[in-house]
Chains A and B, each alone.
Chain A
Amino acid sequence: AQSVTQPDIHITVSEGASLELRCNYSYGATPYLFWYVQSPGQGLQLLLKYFSGDTLVQGIKGFEAEFKRSQSSFNLRKPSVHWSDAAEYFCAVAPNYGGSQGNLIFGKGTKLSVKP
Chain B
Amino acid sequence: GAVVSQHPSWVICKSGTSVKIECRSLDFQATTMFWYRQFPKQSLMLMATSNEGSKATYEQGVEKDKFLINHASLTLSTLTVTSAHPEDSSFYICSARPRDSYNEQFFGPGTRLTVL
Contacts and interface: CB of A to CB of B under 8 A. Distances in A.
A binds B: yes
Interface string A33-52: 00010000111111000010
Interface of chain B: mostly helix, strand, loop or mixed? strand
A103 B108 contact: no
Interface stretch (A18-26, A55-63, A72-80, A93-101): A93-101
How many interface residues does chain B have, given as a range?
20 to 34
A104 B103 contact: no
Interface in A97-116: 99-101, 103-104, 106-109
Given A42-B110, A43-B110, A103-B49, A108 B43 contact: yes
Which residue, B95, B107, B112, has most C-beta atoms of chain A within 10 A?
B107
Interface of B: 4, 6, 34, 42-46, 49, 91, 93, 95, 102-110, 112
List the 3 closest A-B pairs by CB distance, nearest first.
Answer: A101-B103, A43-B109, A100-B102
